[in-house]
Amino acid sequence: MTSTTSALIRTADELQALAARSAPALAVAAAPALAENSRSDSPTGRRTAVVMTMGALHDGHATLVRTARECVGPDGFVVVTVFVNPLQFGAGEDLDRYPRTLDADLRTAEAAGADAVFAPSVDEVYPGGEPQVRISAGPMGERLEGASRPGHFDGMLTVVAKLLHLTRPDLAFFGQKDAQQLALIRRMVRDLNFPAEIVGVPTVREADGLALSSRNRYLSAGERRTALALSRALFAASDRLAAQHALRARADSLPGSQNRAETRAEGLSRLGEARAAADAHAVAQASEGGGAEAVRAAARAVVDEAAKAEPPLALDYLALVDPADFTEVADDHRGEALLAVAARVGSTRLIDNIPLMFGATK
């Protein structure tokens, strides 16, 4: 990195010229190679990274930039894109009022370690108007967020594909908060042989647990209190799963626990743990996968209560899904899962999620 300030770039040609000046080893071929022949294998080891945003940068975005800088090192090239993509906004959504804070974004990107902020115009990204050919998100893109926002993921993947071509990175960093988006980008990169590695970064939360989002600024004080139910629901589900694992392990350690469900509860009851015994009945009746339905129920209880608040939480979906394809998991599911929630508070729509592991023993 040859400068201490982030350059504001408006065109792809300017961006590539800056990348070449900053680190000549980053010069790219006209036709990108497949992933296994990525520029990352060059003798210099210099790499380029991109963090794609729609602006209104907050500490979640800054964390992505800092992670990118750590991964490519001081001699790498880190670019932040700022582009409010019209293709991924549906009718009645907040395209016009989406916050645009470019001056502040430049300061945030610079402080986090970016070399450049690429803030192209709509004409630069979509010369000649909206593209007639777009990326299709497929069946995964029709579930959850895709069902609530038809066409959203097609528009998102189309702009991500274009920005990958325009910025030509070795690494691209995205937040886990937008988990379905992250999964679809990974699938697109794999299916279409993009020469980039997609890196997911854990969700950054505020002190009260609310996931950082550019839309949080729309919330009034009362709406924010209600919105906290999203993260509380996720944490309640995670706690329930941990309790299930602990109860099952403890019940299984009791004499005769391998025989029948009642024995497990009776053993705990003899230890004077009446409530644990009741829970053990439910746990023992659940499959060895961990009891997905009980985990859903724990989260559902929180959002149902928030629906009675003032202002109320209007739930869009609460789903426990397989992160590979975003289909609902069965109650006997073992392995990774994702609990995802979306809701509206006032006029603001928020999403959140938490990864879970069913069948864990440690």
* E-only strand ranges, the chain: 7-9, 48-53, 77-82, 116-118, 171-175, 197-201, 313-321, 335-345, 348-358
What secondary structure letter does DSSP report for 126? S
Are 247 and 276 in contact, with CB atoms under 8 Å apart?
yes
Burial status of residue 174 (CB atoms within 10 A of its CB: 0-12, 13-18, 19 or more): buried
Q: Is 281 labeled as catalytic in the residue annotation?
A: no
Which residues in 326-352 are b (16+ Cβ under 10 Å) and which e?
Answer: beebebebbeebbbbbbbbbbebbbbb
Pairing outcome for strands 7-9 and 116-118 = parallel
Give CA–CA dist 184/242, Å, rounded.
29
Are 57 and 139 in contact, with CB atoms under 8 Å apart?
no
Give CA–CA dist 247/260, Å, rounded.
15
Tokens of 169: 């990175």
Q: Which residues pair with 286 in a beta bridge?
A: none
Tokens of 164: 């990958």
Report the side by side order of strands in the sheet with 48-53.
Answer: 7-9, 116-118, 77-82, 48-53, 171-175, 197-201
- What angle is formed at CA 203 by the lines to CA 305 and CA 162, rounded to 5 degrees? 120
Which residues in 278-307 are b (16+ Cβ under 10 Å) and which e?
Answer: ebbbebbebeebbbbebbbebbbebbeebe
Active-site option among 58, 61, 152, 245: 61
Pairing outcome for strands 7-9 and 335-345 = unpaired
Q: Which residues form the catalytic set?
A: 61
